[in-house]
């Protein structure tokens, strides 16, 4: 295979050529000869690429090196490759006849922002395998929350929520090494890097804030005036620096916050999008007389303008992402962003329902803002009302930051429902005035399989992607000749989904939820029996999923029937099973997060 690159090749173009040679070398006959050029014609805007391949020559051209790599993977997909899950062992690479190398088409990505944000409990391998998988599905960005992914590495290496595995040492050297390696692999693929978000407020107060951990050290007295005054007291909110808001009428707090952001942007030039967020909690903004003269959103916009001015003075063009979340859902009254071209609006409807997709048909007025007495919107229309409010004063770039694979997916044991919601949500982004989607999620959201991420990536790249066709494509590759059997089971399980119930919405005693959970438990029992004896990693994973799902559904049934003690005992049985099986489950099910969500949110 002869791959040539026009102009001076960079790392991403070289990598694209290596990948194309590797896959086609496995697909085509050994004696086959083919010369393919990879070309870049730089142009702004959404990723665009064209593919023109014939048996012995061809070109793949893009408006950036990243677009060329996306074109390579998209061409391989059209030639029959299937990238079904993180990890190259989960790929299907078919044989191809010499005359089968024929493709000619052009593609422009439907949306500019197409990414995933790290969550859950993750090993180094989980993170690197996921980064490798992203462009194969059409994604172009990855978000490493906090300054480093310490919080997510610590959950895995210390085996939080699983006392059956001995905790491993996680020193700063490993965290820094994983961070550097992740950023190196993102750069190799030309993927855009998003960073930080959480942790700024804790850093202003003098804490190394790379997690939501409680802090044993009391707030230093010299930092106390910088913290929000809540119920007459200034201190760490719940003992957690990341959850503690600041007194944004305090000039020293604003100065320190702005300086930290500018220093970070200067010191880490690899960051494409730097997220500037406040505390990760609500009803805890400052109540001092000076802060009460404004709103938290007005103070936030004023702070962002100050950061913008300082970045401009430093000659830094770093994009800043601002957040519509909790109190910041309410738009500012007086302040406006002075240079909107630097900023990207991020709409984060964390309290939304996942029983159905976005619907902009009924958008009510925004409710009045009452300081530290807000209720998060649950209805989709209520959430979209806040987005409309901000869009009335900001017309710049934007995307949604959504959570289908963060908590709610544990309530859909079939994953067909949550994948369909994702697909429908993405189709409606344009009518919502949004230019993309970043999924805040566990990287190990693969039980029963990784269909939701597969659909997410394809739908973001191709706005007209057909959901049912994607499902058939995925299942045929994953489950082979028995794909109809697997699909039939998982569709039935999805009809019984309890996404909102598991996410803590609604009363815990619920006759309809109990009935659905009981039926789901029976289906899982049947599926576990039918999966036995069938070969392949996806059938093996499906059998384990059925055993886990049967136990979880039984616990949910008892909880919904009002039997709390029975539900807790059933949950403990489920916990024992997935803890004992974690070595086998590891790439597919985030045991830490499954237990965290089903106990803390579902109420088990």
What are 489-514's pLDDT values in tens digits?
Answer: 999 999 999 999 999 999 999 999 99
Predicted local distance difference test score (pLDDT) of residue 533: 86
Predicted local distance difference test score (pLDDT) of residue 9: 80
Alpha-carbon distance values, 390 to 123, 245, 362, 379 (Å): 38, 22, 17, 18
| pLDDT: which is higher, 533 or 16 | 16
Mean pLDDT, rounded, of the chain = 96
What are 27-81's pLDDT values in tens digits?
Answer: 999 989 999 999 999 999 999 999 999 999 999 999 999 999 999 999 999 999 9
Predicted local distance difference test score (pLDDT) of residue 360: 81
Q: DSSP states of 154-165 as a string?
A: HHHHTTTT-TTS
Question: Do residues 35 and 2 make contact, with C-beta atoms less than 8 angstroms apart?
Answer: yes
pTM beyond 0.95: yes
What are 438-481's pLDDT values in tens digits?
Answer: 999 999 999 999 999 999 999 999 999 999 999 999 999 999 99
Taken in order of first residue, the domains within the chain and their CATH numbers are 2-108 (3.30.379.10), 118-380 (3.20.20), 480-600 (no CATH)
Question: Do residues 459 and 517 make contact, with C-beta atoms less than 8 angstroms apart?
Answer: no
d(CA 191, CA 137): 13
7: pLDDT confidence band, cut at 50, 70 and 90? low
d(CA 501, CA 522): 19
Question: At residue 5, does pLDDT exceed 80?
Answer: no
Tokens found for residue 399: 């995307």
Residue 532 buriedness (CB in 10 A; 0-12 / 13-18 / 19+): exposed
Residue 227: alpha-carbon gap to chain centroid: 30
570: pLDDT confidence band, cut at 50, 70 and 90? very high
The kind and range of the H/E element at 519 are helix 511-531
Predicted local distance difference test score (pLDDT) of residue 379: 85
What are 423-437's pLDDT values in tens digits?
Answer: 999 999 999 999 999
**Residue 1 CB coordination number (10 Å):** 15
Tell me the β-bridge partners of 104: 52
What are 448-458's pLDDT values in tens digits?
Answer: 999 999 999 99
Q: Render the burial of 260-273: b for 16+ CB within 10 Å, e for the rest.
A: bbbebbeeeeebeb
Angle at 319 between CA 317 and CA 320, to 5 degrees: 130
Alpha helices by DSSP H, 392-415: none
336-339: long-range pairs with CB below 8 Å, 24+: 336/301, 336/393, 336/394, 337/301, 337/304, 337/305, 337/308, 337/394, 337/396, 338/305, 338/308, 338/309, 339/305, 339/308, 339/312
Of 100, 127, 125, the residue nearest 116 (C-alpha) = 127
Question: At residue 139, does pLDDT exceed 80?
Answer: yes
Give the rounded percent of residues in the chain with a pLDDT score beyond 70. Answer: 99
Among all chains, which residue has been given the structure tokens 């391949």? 53
d(CA 385, CA 407): 23
Three-state SS annotation for 15-59: HHHHHHHHHHHHHCCCCCCCEEEEEECCCCCCCEEEEEEECCEEE
Predicted local distance difference test score (pLDDT) of residue 378: 86
Question: Do residues 510 and 501 make contact, with C-beta atoms less than 8 angstroms apart?
Answer: yes
Cα-flanking dihedrals φ and ψ of residue 584, to 5°? Answer: -75, -35
Tell me the β-bridge partners of 402: 439
């Amino acid at each position: 295979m002869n791959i040539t690159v026009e102009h001076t090749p960079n790392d991403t173009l070289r990598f694209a050529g290596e990948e194309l040679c590797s896959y086609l070398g496995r697909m085509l006959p050994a004696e086959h000869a083919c010369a393919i050029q990879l070309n870049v014609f730089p142009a702004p805007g959404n990723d665009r690429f064209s593919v023109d391949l014939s048996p012995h020559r061809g070109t793949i051209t893009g408006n950036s090196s990243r677009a060329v790599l996306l074109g390579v993977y998209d061409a391989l997909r059209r030639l029959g490759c299937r990238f079904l899950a993180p990890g190259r062992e989960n790929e299907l690479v078919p044989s191809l006849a010499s005359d089968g190398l024929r493709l000619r088409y052009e593609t422009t990505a439907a949306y500019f922002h197409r990414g995933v944000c790290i969550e859950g409990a993750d090993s180094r391998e989980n993170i690197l395998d996921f980064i490798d998988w992203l462009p194969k599905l059409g994604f172009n960005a990855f978000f490493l929350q906090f300054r480093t992914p310490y919080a997510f590495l610590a959950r895995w290496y210390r085996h939080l929520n699983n006392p059956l595995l001995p905790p491993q040492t996680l020193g700063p050297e490993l965290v820094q090494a994983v961070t550097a390696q992740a950023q190196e692999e993102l750069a190799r693929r030309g993927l855009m890097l998003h960073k930080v978000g959480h942790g700024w407020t804790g850093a202003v107060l003098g804490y190394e804030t790379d997690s939501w951990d409680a802090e044993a050290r009391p707030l230093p007295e010299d930092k106390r005036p910088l913290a929000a005054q809540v119920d007459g007291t200034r201190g760490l909110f719940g003992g957690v620096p990341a959850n503690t808001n600041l007194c944004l009428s305090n000039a020293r707090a604003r100065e320190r916050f702005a300086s930290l952001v500018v220093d970070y942007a200067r010191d880490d030039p690899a960051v494409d999008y730097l997220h500037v967020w406040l505390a990760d909690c609500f009803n805890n903004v400052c109540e001092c007389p000076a802060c009460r003269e404004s709103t938290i959103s007005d103070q936030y916009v004023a702070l962002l303008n100050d950061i913008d001015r300082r970045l401009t003075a430093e000659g830094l063009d770093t994009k800043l992402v601002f957040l519509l979340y909790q109190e910041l859902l309410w738009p500012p009254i007086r302040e406006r962003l002075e240079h909107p071209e630097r900023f990207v609006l991020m709409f984060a409807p964390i309290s939304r329902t996942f029983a159905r997709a976005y619907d902009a048909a009924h958008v009510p007025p925004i409710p009045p803002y009452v300081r530290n007495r807000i209720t998060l919107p649950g209805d989709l229309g209520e959430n979209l009302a806040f987005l409309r409010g901000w869009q009335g004063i900001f017309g710049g770039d934007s995307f949604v930051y959504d959570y289908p694979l963060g908590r709610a997916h544990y309530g859909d044991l079939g994953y067909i429902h949550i994948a369909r919601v994702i697909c429908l949500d993405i189709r409606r982004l344009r009518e919502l005035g949004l230019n993309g989607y970043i999924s805040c999620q566990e990287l190990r959201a693969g039980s029963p399989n990784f269909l939701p991420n597969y659909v997410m990536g394809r739908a973001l790249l191709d706005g007209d992607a057909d959901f049912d066709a994607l499902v058939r494509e995925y299942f045929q590759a994953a489950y082979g000749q028995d794909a109809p059997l697997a699909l039939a089971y998982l569709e039935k399980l999805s009809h019984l989904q309890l996404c909102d119930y598991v996410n803590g919405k609604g009363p815990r005693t619920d006759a309809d939820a109990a009935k659905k959970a009981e039926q789901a438990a029976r289906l899982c029992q049947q599926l576990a029996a039918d999966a036995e004896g069938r070969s392949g990693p996806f059938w093996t994973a499906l059998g384990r999923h059925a055993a886990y799902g049967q136990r979880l559904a039984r616990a949910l049934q008892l909880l919904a029937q009002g039997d709390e003690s029975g539900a807790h005992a059933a949950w403990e049985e489920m916990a024992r099973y997935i803890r004992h099986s974690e070595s086998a489950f590891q790439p597919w099910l985030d045991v830490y997060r499954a237990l965290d969500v089903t106990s803390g949110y579902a109420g088990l």
